[in-house]
Amino acid sequence: MPEASDQQLIKAAIDASRHAYIPYSNYRVGAALLTAGGAIYGGCNIESVSFTPTVCAERTALFKAVSVGQREFKAIAVVTRDAGSPCGVCRQMMYEFAPDLRVILADLDGNSRLVTTLRELLPHGFGPAHLDENKS
């Protein structure tokens, strides 16, 4: 299976964003996560009136992939109206599985605004290796 291009990931993220449930913020977010095997998992943000249980698009895509056994990821495209960056919670969850993840930030029109890495977005991240090194 040929590897997905940035534009294919951005399109998949835009498609996922159309399912966002955003009655409170009206801030639509879509994500498309590329596995090492070439599968793409989409996610959208889903809000709750009490805000705490709200889940971001990036975590929705990640949870969908992990829940069916995926553990290795190569890239994620995240789309918002202004090419917003993943929140800290999403950065931490992605770091759990893919500290070297490629991150593509784009707007809802499909314009790529920034291509970076998760390590750039979360320098000195805390991951599973930190626990392994400290075992007695």
Positions annotated as catalytic residues are 58
Q: How far apart are the first and last CA of the chain?
A: 43
SS (H, E, C) 93-116: HHHHHCCCCEEEEEECCCCEEEEE
Measured at the alpha carbon of residue 50, what is the angle toward residues 45 and 54, in degrees to the nearest 5?
20
SS (H, E, C) 76-87: EEEEECCCCCCC
Query: Of 123, 109, 104, 97, which is closest to residue 5 (Cα–Cα)?
Result: 104
